[in-house]
Amino acid sequence: MAESPAGEIRHRAAVIGSPVSHSLSPVLHRAAYAGLGLDDWTYERRETDSEALSALLAELAAPVQAGPAWAGLSVTMPHKQTLLARLDVIDPLAEAVGAVNTVVAQRSGAGSALLAGFNTDVAGIVGALRETARTQAPDCPGARLRIEQAVVLGSGATACSALAALGELRAGRITVVARRHAGPGRALSAAHRMGLDIETLTWKPSDSASNTEAARRLAAADVVISTLPAHAADPLADPLRQALDQAEGTRPGAVMLDVVYAPWPTAVAGAWAHAGGALAPGWLMLLHQAVPQVQLMTGQQPDIELMRTALLAALAPTCASTAVSSETSS
């Protein structure tokens, strides 16, 4: 890459959504750029509601006139599913999942860009689960995560990615626990596209019997992936604690991934950990999804440990406060 004058920014990227003020994606991407020596790259937060999305995509695809060229976007709520119909090319995985969390502006020279959509949330979930499982068996680094039973909490965009991740991990029985299952953009539709055979359990958080049954499913799982926003799964905490007490703990090697990263732990994650289950926090998924995202935008492999260090430093004050954060949708 040709060197640019000191201080000149030639490439730009951003995280978009509404709201994005809480997003930690800038921390991860900037750390990656620093480690790669990409001093002419910048990454920002871009508050973008549905009305502003068209103008932003046009800006992204426009020929480069002056100033930095757009490299791509990280995508969070509420655009992960609506972008599918508005991009030029969709990666097969993102199409099967039904959600895009990465847009790359593919251009030749200074001409107009082709906007391509990708999904790295699947890689984030797989990476977080595998890393957590490895920490539980340090003497067997090559051991495969064995999933006879898995439960996904939620039925939105991130739940669709969770199903794809469980398919990659060769999970056996998969149950989706959610308040709603029918309709476009739901996990049930994604399961059909991916050829996954899943069970569904309709959950009513205000009903004690429903909470008890949902908690029973969680307690019997090898892997639980909660894609719900902070506090949404709180009604399951006490029933889960009771179910795990009756079962005398979680299954051997069981892992829960909760996409929330502040406040941490969530009530349901605390109940899981109390019974001896391993926890994969939401920030670990965020880290693992950002690595391929940076690679797609820059064409270079970033240093995950530099990114981890920067993320944990940024999270330290956040987790100590009452902020509620997640960069996924349920």
CATH 3.40.50.10860 in the chain, residues?
A: 11-120+284-320
The CATH 3.40.50.720 portion of the chain extends over: 122-282
Q: Identify the bridge partners of residue 262 per DSSP, sorted by sequence position.
A: 325
What confidence category does residue 323 fall into, taking pLDDT thresholds of 50, 70 and 90?
very low
Contacts of 3 (CB under 8 A, 6+ apart): none
Task: Say how far apart CA 308 and CA 87 lie, in whole Å.
Answer: 31
State how far the Cα of 264 lies from the Cα of 22, in Å rounded to an integer: 15
The residue that leads in pLDDT, 98 or 144, is 98
List, for residues 281-290, the tens digit of each pLDDT value: 999 999 999 9
Q: Is the pLDDT of residue 318 over 90?
A: no
Distance CA 95, CA 190 (A): 9
Pairing of strands 102-106, 114-118: antiparallel
The structure tokens 């506090």 sit at 231
What's the pLDDT at 136? 80
Residue 204 annotated among the catalytic residues of the structure = no
Domain 11-120+284-320 class, CATH top level: alpha beta
Mean pLDDT for 32-59 is 97
152: nearest Cα among 213, 70, 221: 221
Rg value, the chain, Cα: 20
Residue 326 scores a pLDDT above 70 = no
Q: What is the pLDDT of residues 22-34, one digit of tens each?
A: 999 999 999 999 9
> DSSP character for 66?
S
pLDDT of residue 48: 97
CATH superfamily, domain 122-282, is NAD(P)-binding Rossmann-like Domain (3.40.50.720)
Whole-number pLDDT of residue 84: 96
Q: Check residue 4 and give its pLDDT.
A: 46
Contact 77, 185 (CB under 8 A): no
The strand pair at 149-153 and 223-226 is best described as parallel
> Would you state the pLDDT for residue 3?
43
Catalytic residue of the set 80, 107, 181, 217? 80
Q: What mean pLDDT is reported for the chain? A: 92
User: Model confidence at 139, in pLDDT bands (50, 70, 90)?
Assistant: low
